[in-house]
Amino acid sequence: MRPFRQLAWGAGLAATTVTALVTPASAATTDLGTLSGGTQSSATGVNSAGLTVGWARVSAATYATRWNAQGTITRLTSPQDSTGSQAFAVNDAGVIVGDATGSNGKVPVRWNTDGTVTDLGAPPGGKGGVARAVSGNGVIVGETYDASSGLTRAARWNPDGSRAVLPALPGDRQAWALGVNASGVAVGVSFSPNLRPRPVRWNADGTVQELPALPGDTAGRANGINDNGEIVGMSGVSTPMGPTRRTPVRWKADGTVTALPPLGGDDGGEAHAVNGLGAVVGESTHGGLGPRAAQWGSDGTVTSLGAPANSKNACAPASVSTGGTTVGECGIDDPEDASLFHAVRWN
C-alpha cells in the first residue's frame, strides 16, 4: 500500500516509551522504473521470493503492476471493462490484492497465482471497495463503501468466500483496515465524526479494540501487523488539518506502545510495515516534511536505508519481506516535474 499522509486508552492496554540508539547504515537501492511510456510508479508490497507489486501511471491511467526478483515490470491483467487498477499487497503464495476502477467506481480484487483476476465483491450492505492487505493464508482486509451513506467501512474477505464489514469504534462513523495476519487479526484506523483518527485492532471474531496512543497524544493509525501480533503505525496529535507531530510507534501483542526514534536530525515520522522477525520500515521526517527511508530493528535501533542516485532523497517504504527486502517509493530528479516518484527496492 502506498503510505498514507495524514484518545482514549483501550481496555487492559498499557503504554510506555523507550529510547534507542540511532546508527547510520546504507542499503543497496534500485529504482524499479515504470511501464513503457509511463511517468510514475509505486511499490506497495513484496514477498519472500522478491516478487514486488504496486502500480504505474501511463498518461492519465494507473495500472496494477508486478516486478519479478530481477526487477522486470509487468502489467497485471485488468478486470473486463475496468479503466485502471492498483495492487497493494502480495503474500508468500503469490496472491496479490488491490482494486480496479470501472464505471461504478472502485471494486476490491484479487489476482490469483495463475494470473487471473477475481472481483471479491462487497460485504453485505457495502458497495465496491479496496483490498489493502492479504495474510499468508489468504485473509484479505480493506474497505468498502456503505451502500446508503457512501461512508467508508473496514471490511474483511475470508478464504472460504465469506465477507463482512468490520465495525468502527463506538461513536465513530468510518474505518479503514490496513493490515492482517494469519490469525485473522486486522489493524487500521477508526475515524470520529470530526475525523480524528484512532488506531485500532480487530480480533479474529470481528470485535474492535482501540490501541493506545503515546502519552499526551490524541490520534494515531495502525498500518501493519505480523503473525506474532506486533503492530506498527504512528501516534500524534489531532487537529482540524490532520495529525501533527507524527511519531513512529510499535505495539506489542499485549497492546503496549513504544515510540520508535527518528533518524538523526529528524523529529518524527511513521512506521508502515513489520515483518515476522520484528524488522520495521517507514519514514523519518523533520517537521512532517522531507521523508527519509528508515528501518528499525527488533530492539528499536534505527538505520537509514538511503535512496537511489537519481532520487531527491524523499522516500517512503511501504513493505518489508521476511528476508528484509524493502519496497516503496522515492521522488526522482526531473527538471520538468518535481512531483514525480518511482518504485524503489532496498536490499
What is the per-residue DSSP string for 100-168? EEETTEEEEEEE-TTS-EEE--PPTTEEEEEEEEE-TT--EEEEEEETTT--EEEEEE-TTS-EEEEPP
Grid cell 522516500 is found at 315
38 residue type, one letter: G
3-state helix, strand, coil in the chain (%, to 5): 0, 50, 50
Around 322, how many Cα atoms within 13 Å sit in the side-chain half-sphere? 11
Using CA atoms, how far residue 171 sits from 188, 197, 212, in Å, is 16, 13, 17
Contact in structure between 31 and 332 (CB atoms under 8 Å): yes
Q: What is the pLDDT of residue 53?
A: 98
pLDDT tens digits, 202-228: 999 999 999 999 999 999 999 999 999
Looking at residue 12, what is its pLDDT?
A: 28
Q: What percent of the chain clears pLDDT 70, i.e. is strictly above it?
A: 90
Give the pLDDT of residue 338: 60
Going from the C-alpha of 86 to that of each of 43, 148, 153, 293, the distances in angstroms are 10, 25, 19, 22
3-class secondary structure, 259: strand
Q: Are residues 139 and 117 in contact, defined by beta-carbon separation less than 8 angstroms? A: no
DSSP symbols for 296-326: E-TT--EEE----TTEEEEEEEEEE-TT--E
Cα–Cα distance measured from residue 114 to residue 111, given in angstroms and rounded to the nearest whole number: 8
d(CA 309, CA 17): 35
Q: What pLDDT sits at residue 11?
A: 26
Please tell me the distance from the alpha carbon of residue 129 to that of residue 132, in angstroms, as a whole number. 10
Give dist(CA 318, CA 44) in Å, integer: 5
pLDDT score recorded for residue 173: 92
Phi-psi region of 227 (alpha: psi -120 to 50; beta: other; left: phi over 0): alpha
How far is 248 from 261, CA to CA, in rounded Å? 7
d(CA 83, CA 63): 9
Predicted TM-score (pTM) above 0.85: yes
Cα 109 to Cα 120: distance, rounded to the nearest angstrom: 5
Long-range contacts of 165-174 (CB under 8 A, 24+ apart): 165/123, 165/124, 165/125, 165/126, 166/141, 166/202, 166/206, 166/208, 167/202, 167/206, 167/207, 167/208, 168/208, 169/198, 169/200, 169/208, 169/210, 172/198
Q: Which residue numbers in the chain have pLDDT < 70?
A: 1-26, 241-243, 334-338
Please report, for residues 27, 43, 56, 77, the alpha-carbon distance to residue 66 in angstroms, rounded to integers and kept in the order given.
Answer: 22, 9, 10, 11
Q: Which residue has the cell 521470493?
A: 49
How far apart CA 335 and CA 161 sit, in angstroms, is 48
Q: Phi/psi at 51 (nearest 5 deg)? A: -70, 125
Q: What is the pLDDT of residue 335?
A: 60
